[in-house]
Chain A
């Protein structure tokens, strides 16, 4: 596949990509494939839904999201504890956080779930391809797109 990265249109480097993915292999694949398309942004991984919520809503002593920062979220639906749909609901109810572009990347290919996620404001819903090669290829295409996308600033009202 042809890689086309116009220098000036690369996703702003200070934007942070949040990846909620409980499967180690999948996480590594996503991270590496994005990096190979030239996505050099910081990436933060969350192994379960609660970790991600704690980060976004600053509800624990762990790492927290920062004001005036740009985020983009890649969200798996089947996460231990709090699942992806519940996370999407919570994000969608928050005036600031709802601006964050959310890419659902999941094995779930079910019309009702797809509809629900869009109602809850996901940016795009992508079904994980079966097989290593096609998964890598799909994430590279996501990376190419992210390189030309602008992300919103999350201001956070106190």
Chain B
């Protein structure tokens, strides 16, 4: 009765687990603290190798009685999470290294969270999804409060922790109702139940509570209020990680659970997602307009971007092909890149001026043109200017909304279009500061060079954003692959 275990399929997770253990031990004995981030980045790159060999192999591998599946969908996201993890290590290398303490633990916690994400991409039952989500979230509570002696960082960690606990409680309650009604724990089982049975009203309650839990995790309006404070107080590399990787983790869970389990019960999930999408776009953008701190602006912008991502999900039930699902995945992949780039640039600027106020960006085009060009590319990509990757993300989102053709979808499309215009103003506002304003003499600048790792991360993202802008077929193909059975 030995369970057969497909070690090839589990290789990314095994490599990450071993890396976490080794990092922890090395940190205890090594005198040179930069050894741990180096090992961590090697481990992440090592975990990408089996993801590549598995996608070349292409077969669907189902394990543990169907609760864990390694298919194209899972591999696309595992690839994304590992690349984001690698870039986060690059971005944080000097930031954490120049802080005063606990360098090793930072990477141990970071990789543990990434391990949860790779599990999440494969999770196909409620319990595994829950465990994966908690593995993602719990290390990030500590990461958000990393700067122990900074009250803002402590506030960030505490807020994030409290919200995390509340959202988990709400989501678990929802999941328990879903399980109680359907009698199934596996997502496929819930779907079968919905197809065969006329589900009772109670099922909708379960779906609602589960989705509210996820809405907290992906900071969708009206469950977003923790995000700006947490993002502002947390160390900036952690903010980048939270706004990209953690958010993507929540989204992957949402896509998996809606696509596989709740899908037939359209009436129970579609209205919820619809409202979340419209509210997140509108409130996120309006609040971002008024921000004077760039991290808070990016926090609200990421709330709004989350709203854009929910648009294809809200109309997915009315689109006959897979294009809406592909739209969510494509948007998520592109968003991850450009948002990470923007935060990397924020870190680079803060190294010079020690400030995250938008006013301190005045004249950056003159003092550091290369950095200003990259920042402009990231912001314009987030705004969706043509021939940058973000443009294609917006395109697939609008295509999904207008493909479905229902009145609701068109209304949502129009709301999204208005919001895309609003968003342009605050992204361009930073651009105006950088290029059309004189440098503020009151802001003290230090001439410290930007570290190589930070530059490398920004350069990788810049190349990606430009390349995908002119050749979006590559990412569209990935989106298609994700929903093609192997």
- A and B from one complex: no
Q: Which residues of B contact A (CB under 8 A)?
A: none
